[in-house]
Amino acid sequence: GRQLTINILSTWGDAHYVGLNGLEIFDAEGVCISDPKTNPHLTIRGDPDSINILPEYHNDPRTVDKIIDGVYATCDDLHMWLPPLL
């Protein structure tokens, strides 16, 4: 297996949160390998994985799995990842 690590160091203005709609990764032939429907071995994790680590949030749907759900051009919170910037 292979591992890709992305470190997010800043935001576009919010001092407390990072928002991300999607992540696509392609192999040398141009095939998308970041789609869990076509790549059953794909796993993704975030640290932190969502704002649910904060005491004032519970069951917020904006978790890390949303960045590979295939819906990228959206303003719908149900397809976004929102972790706190630590």
pTM given for the model: 0.85
* Helices marked H in the chain: none
DSSP category for residue 48: S
Residue 38 confidence (pLDDT) above 90:
no
Confidence of residue 67 (pLDDT cuts 50, 70, 90): very high
pLDDT digits (tens, 9 = 90+) for 5-23: 999 988 888 999 999 999 9
Mean pLDDT of 73-79: 94
Residue 71 confidence (pLDDT) above 90:
yes
pLDDT at 1: 72
- 2 vs 5, 8, 43, 51, 55, CA distance in Å? 10, 20, 11, 27, 34
